[in-house]
Structure 1
């Protein structure tokens, strides 16, 4: 259902999001990623953030589950954006940073812990990961998309299962788009080096 929404509304979604200034949200993340590090833009949508990270000197890989978004993002960024679901990421210690902006929120509550475990595995030790969710509590469906909303308590419960991930920063923002009044929970987590 959610995938159908993005495939059918890809151009409109691209147009609505491509110009949104995200620089304020980048800062807590990129300052933690090593220079010239490799960032995965997981659920890249329009490719806006992937392009910004490239322009900041990072090596970037990008993926999206919507084939129509993949086409638009590839064209916009010049990257070979992968047509891939979040659940199918099986890389091991490849990325210095993972950027999951408004993408994990489309996973069900049941899927989230599994994907968080897979993404943790994909991060290099000392890697960092940004994720954002609409602020709230529980699963819901709205306008053809499924959302799992998150608040501080729910996120803390997720992190309790992942002792090697540490919350470096957690904060709430207002939606950057002019026609929205939603709040977002933003989190940057770091992966610690496991001592033998």
Structure 2
């Protein structure tokens, strides 16, 4: 995870420029449909702040986090919400959010650490709270361009959810990358609810 944080710190402006306009509206609308009006949302690992801004504009109370300080500053200016500089293992919320949005952020957590990370985040959700998460599609744990990736396919995602427990899978979708220069890449998106 440390290598990935360093990558985003050193390449914050470039990453912001390449990702801030990526279109995630179908996923955001599906997620928002599971939330109460004006609900509290955690955007954990918010990157450029694109989705935190969209969620704020939908009327939700957004708390955002980003582990790389330089990227957090850009996200804060773009999203118009407070962006706390923190990693997943520093999060200690309990029942604080109606929804958690982890778009392309959990994929930097090592496979062995993913279950504990998900348990920690699940604790931050209210009962029946909604959770969106996305991973690059595959089965490998790898390093690419200075970042670590844990890829998941359907079987890997099902096994992870079974390990974590207490999450009801609403939908699982494989899709292409929304960025034109990455159209050959595939993603696995999960939409879940915390058990009552």
Decide: shared fold, TM above 0.5: yes
Q: Which has the higher helix share?
A: 2
Per mean C-alpha deviation after superposition, the further-off stretch among 162-171 and 8-17 is 162-171
Q: Give the equivalent residue in structure 2 for 1:120.
A: 122
Q: Following the alignment from structure 1 to structure 2, what is the Cα–Cα distance between the partners of residues 102 and 161?
A: 20
Q: Which residue of 1 aligns with 2:71?
A: 69
Q: Distance in 2 between matches of 1:129 and 1:80?
A: 20
**Helix, strand or coil: the match of 1:117?**
helix
Tell me, yes or no, if structure 1 residue 185 matches structure 2 residue 196.
no
Contact 1:28 1:169 in 2 (8 A): no
Verify the 8 A CA contact 2:177 2:187 in the aligned structure 1.
yes
Residue deviations 1:48-69, cap 9 Å, x none? 0000001001110000000111
Alignment of 1:1-196 (within 5 A): 1-180=3-182, 181-193=184-196
Question: Structure 1 length as normaliser, TM-score?
Answer: 0.96
Alignment gaps of 5+ in structure 2: none
Following TM superposition, by how much is the alpha carbon of 1:85 offset from its aligned partner in structure 2, in angstroms?
A: 0.2
- Contact 1:170–1:188, Cα closer than 8 Å, also in 2: yes
Q: Which moved more, 1:57-66 or 1:22-31?
A: 22-31
**Structure 1 stretches lacking a partner, 5+ long:** none
Q: Structure 1 runs of 4+ off > 6 angstroms? A: none
